[in-house]
Amino acid sequence: MTDILADTMPRQQAAAALTPGIHMTDAANKRLKARYASERRFKMIGLSAILFSLTALAILMFTIASNGFTAFRQTHVRLDLQLSAEQIAPAGTTDVRKIMQGNYGAIILDALQKKFPDVQSRGERRRLQALVSAGAESQIGRMIVADPSLIGQTISVWLPTSSDIDMFVKRQVDTTAPEEERRVKDSQVRWLDSLKASGDLDLQFNLRFFTGADSREPELVGVWGGVVGSFYTLLVTLLVAFPLGIMAAIYLEEFAPKNHWTELIEVNINNLAAVPSIVYGLLGLAVFIGFFGMPRSAPFVGGLVLALMSLPVMIIASRAALRAVPPSIRQAALGLGASPLQVVLHHVLPLAMPGILTGTIIAMAHALGETAPLLMIGMVAFIVDIPTTPVDAATVLPVQIFMWADSSERGFVEKTSAAIIVLLVFLLLMNLAAILLRKKFERRW
C-alpha cells in the first residue's frame, strides 16, 4: 500500500498523508483526555452514590446500636431489706391486696439509711430514696406475695436504680457538667461511688427489658408486651392473608378467563399494592371499628388491617411463583386424567410453594414493621399488661418504639434504640428465612 502511494504520489503529498489526521491533533488528544476524564468522573459518581447509601445505612445502624446496646444491662443496687411485719402485714398473711399495700418505700429508705447513716436532712433523704427506682416497691411486694414467709426476715436483694442514676452510671449523660445542670447531684454521686466501692452497685443483665411490658418509668419498661402483641397481630394477618392470597393467585393465574372482570381485579391488585399504608388505617377505623363495632387497640383488628394491606403483595408474589412452574407439568398431569383443580392442588401448588412462602415471609416482615395503620385503630394506648388473647388491648413492637421515641425522658432514648434492635433482629431472622428458603428450593426447570 505504502509502496503504491510512494510511487503514484509526489513526495510531499505522501508526507502529508503520514502526518497525524484529525484524530491525532492536539485538540483531538485534549478532547480524548476530557472524554476519558468525564468517563472516570461518571464512574466515580456512580460509585459514590452507592457508597453514600451504604454509609447512610451504616450510620443508621451504628447510631441505633451505640444508643441501644447499653439498655440490655441495667444498674442495680444491693440492699439489705428488713421486711418487718408491722410495715407490711402480720406474718402468715397471704392476702395479696394487703401485702401489695405494704410500706415498701419506708423499708427501702431504711435500708439505704443504714448504708449512709449520716444523711439527715429531708432533701437529702429524698435524694437518697431517688437512687432506687419507683418500681422497686412493687417488685418487693410481688416477691412477698410469691413467698409470704419472707415477712419478718432480712433479705439482701438487687433492686433497679432510677433511670437518672442508670443513665449517669452508664455515662449516657454529661457527667462532667456543673451540678445545677445535672439530674444526679453531687451527694448522690458520692453515695454511688461508695456503693460501687463496696460492690453494692452493679450493671446487671436487664431481664425486665425482655420480659416486661410498657411502663411510665424508663428503667422498668420491657418489650415483651409488644412482642406478644406483634405475634398475635401477625398471626391474624397470616391466617387471613395467606389462604386468601394463595386462592386469589390460583384463580387469577390458573383458572381466570381473560375478561373485563379479571382485568379489573388485576389492575386493582396492582394499585392496592401501592396505596399508602395510612389509608388502610382509615379503612380499618371506618369499617372494622366504626361499622362492625370491633374493639379498639386489639391485635385482631390490627391483624385484619395488615392482612388487607399485605394481601396484594402476597397475591403478586404467589402469582409469580405459580407462573414459574412450567406448563409441561400441568400438561403431563392433565394427560394422566387429573382434573384442573387436581392439577393445581397436587402438582403446581407444591412446586410453587417455596416461592409463595418466600413472598409471604417478606410481606409479613413488612407487616411486622408497619406502624401508621395501627396508630389509626388505637394501638397507641398505654398498656402495661401482656395480652393473652388476640382481642385483648395490646400494642405492637413498632408502635411501642414510636411511643417511647415520643417520650422526653433521657432514659427512653436508650430503650427505644434497644427495642429497635429487637425489631431489626426479628426482621433479620425473617429475611434470613426467606433467603434460605429461596436457596434451598431454587431450581431450574
Do the Cβ atoms of 249 and 322 come closer than 8 Å? yes
Residue 228 or 250 having the CB closest to another protein = 250
Minimum distance from residue 237 beta carbon to another protein (Å)? 14
Minimum distance from residue 350 beta carbon to another protein (Å)? 17
Q: The cell 395510612 sits on which residue?
A: 278
Binding to another protein in span 301-360, by CB under 8 A: 308, 311-312, 315, 339-341
Residue 161 or 360 having the CB closest to another protein = 360
Q: How far apart are CA 312 and CA 274, in angstroms?
A: 9
Do the Cβ atoms of 358 and 318 come closer than 8 Å? no
Site size toward another protein (CB under 8 A) is 90
Binding to another protein in span 233-262, by CB under 8 A: 243-244, 247-248, 250-252, 255-256, 262
Does residue 393 bind another protein (CB under 8 A)? no
Minimum distance from residue 423 beta carbon to another protein (Å)? 6
Binding to another protein in span 50-69, by CB under 8 A: 50, 52-54, 56-57, 59-60, 63-64, 67
Residue 147 or 406 having the CB closest to another protein = 406
Nearest 5°: phi and psi at 377? Answer: -95, 20
168-205: buried (b, 16+ CB within 10 Å) or exposed (e) per residue? bbbebbeeeeeeeebbbbebbbebbeebeeeebbeeee
Residue 108 or 236 having the CB closest to another protein = 236
Residue 142 or 216 having the CB closest to another protein = 216
Minimum distance from residue 327 beta carbon to another protein (Å)? 19
Interacting residues of 127 by C-beta distance below 8 A, sequence separation 6+: 185, 187, 188
Minimum distance from residue 194 beta carbon to another protein (Å)? 34
Does residue 366 bind another protein (CB under 8 A)? yes
**Residue 295, by phi and psi: left (phi above 0), alpha (psi -120 to 50) or beta?**
beta
CA 356 from centroid of its chain's CA atoms: 24
* Residue of 276, 324, 432, 436 that binds another protein (CB under 8 A): 276
Helix, strand, or coil (residue 19): coil
Residue 145 or 278 having the CB closest to another protein = 278
Q: How far apart are CA 96 and CA 104, in angstroms?
A: 14
What does DSSP assign to residue 289? I
Site string for another protein, 28-47 (x = CB under 8 A): -------xx-xx-xxx-xxx
Which residues lie across from 156 on neighbouring strands? 80
Binding to another protein in span 93-122, by CB under 8 A: none
Do the Cβ atoms of 304 and 240 come closer than 8 Å? yes
Minimum distance from residue 56 beta carbon to another protein (Å)? 5
Residue 17 or 56 having the CB closest to another protein = 56
Q: How far apart are CA 258 and CA 261, in angstroms?
A: 8
Minimum distance from residue 266 beta carbon to another protein (Å)? 9
Does residue 382 bind another protein (CB under 8 A)? no
Does residue 279 bind another protein (CB under 8 A)? yes
Q: Which amino acid is located at 303 in the chain? A: G
